A = this chain, B = another copy of it.
């Protein structure tokens, strides 16, 4: 395809973006009408929305359009599974500069479509308009399939804290890219394209998870929301985290304690959940801490009993 999105025009672009979109059994009416119709057999629908802006959430010189698509879909679909729900559908709001090559928009959509396929969801609707900064607004929907939603407020003293998925890989990849390198490839790839453990979310609900969230801003920061919402203290054991040898090497090369990436790095969209101490967890869940009573203390997250003092999260209005 040649030309810019401006030359293609709104309706030409929508035609290109929606061509060949696969349907799933959940799609009762896909793109092209005033609204989509999606199956919600549970009689409740889980819904979440996120906005990504070029320069702030992605860079075109670091990530391909395809990777931006995968990543922006992944972070929304991860929020759905973090409730214990199965992703069903995704809607896309796109702001694109008129001089953007149309291929960029099509490849973005390819990435969104492929990530939806991994998660079992379908793209059912969207909107495109012109603007100066590429902006990707995504809403993801999901079905609880009879499970109670797993919120952030259900953690109870005595519960164990367990994680599944990747932790710190995206942050290590970001550190590599920030210094002008393109390898080690595994970490750069992890930054460009996270792989949330989609199946683990609904499975955790069935395993009796009492609270759950996905790690988007950093494990300590995101668990901090669980601690606050549940009115508990959460203590992590540093030694129970797995720091891969190659991540340790990168840490040494750039002068960063890799545990900081593991504990404070976001964007991998791992899942962290609390479970009753007697829950039988599959091997892919790693127990890394426990839930403690407040006992007059603060609802916060500690590591080996000490408050974690590395930057614990990400404020989207803070100056970088």
Q: Which residues of A approach B to under 8 Å, CB–CB?
A: 5-6, 8-11, 13, 28-29, 32-53, 56-57, 79-80, 82-83, 85, 89, 91-95, 98, 124-133, 135, 137, 139-142, 144, 149, 151-153, 212-214, 229, 315-319
Would you call A33 and B152 a contact (CB within 8 A)? yes
Contacts of A42 in B (CB 8 A): 40, 43
18 contacts between A and B (CB under 8 A): A6-B319, A10-B318, A29-B151, A32-B152, A32-B229, A33-B83, A33-B229, A34-B214, A38-B44, A47-B89, A47-B91, A49-B126, A51-B94, A91-B139, A93-B93, A95-B135, A135-B137, A137-B137
Number of copies: 2
Q: Which A-B residue pairs are the 4 nearest by beta carbons?
A: A137-B137, A35-B48, A40-B40, A51-B93
Contacts of A57 in B (CB 8 A): 129
Would you call B47 and A95 a contact (CB within 8 A)? no
Would you call A53 and B129 a contact (CB within 8 A)? yes
Contacts of A153 in B (CB 8 A): 33
Contacts of A125 in B (CB 8 A): 47-49
- A214 to B42, alpha carbons, bound, how many Å? 29
- A127 to B50, alpha carbons, bound, how many Å? 5
Q: Which residue of B lies closest to A57 (CB)?
A: B129
Minimum CB–CB distance from A319 to chain B (whole Å) comes to 8
Known: A51-B94, A51-B129, A91-B49. A37 touches B317 (CB 8 A): no
Would you call A132 and B132 a contact (CB within 8 A)? yes
**Known interface pairs A33-B149, A37-B44, A47-B141; 15 further A-B residue pairs with C-beta atoms within 8 A, sorted by A's residue number:** A6-B317, A33-B83, A33-B152, A38-B46, A38-B47, A40-B42, A40-B43, A43-B43, A49-B91, A49-B127, A51-B129, A53-B131, A93-B93, A93-B139, A130-B317
- A251 to B131, alpha carbons, bound, how many Å? 31
Minimum CB–CB distance from A104 to chain B (whole Å) comes to 14
Minimum CB–CB distance from A130 to chain B (whole Å) comes to 5
Minimum CB–CB distance from A79 to chain B (whole Å) comes to 4
Which of B34, B44, B45, B213 is in CB contact (< 8 Å) with A213? B34
Which of B124, B133, B135 is in CB contact (< 8 Å) with A47? B124
Minimum CB–CB distance from A73 to chain B (whole Å) comes to 14
Which of B29, B53, B128, B137 is in CB contact (< 8 Å) with A316? B128
Would you call B37 and A45 a contact (CB within 8 A)? yes
Contacts of A46 in B (CB 8 A): 35-38
Would you call B28 and A149 a contact (CB within 8 A)? yes
Most buried by B among A48, A83, A98: A48
Contacts of A229 in B (CB 8 A): 32-33
- A34 to B152, alpha carbons, bound, how many Å? 8
Would you call A139 and B49 a contact (CB within 8 A)? yes
Would you call A35 and B135 a contact (CB within 8 A)? no
Q: Which residue of B lies closest to A94 (CB)?
A: B51
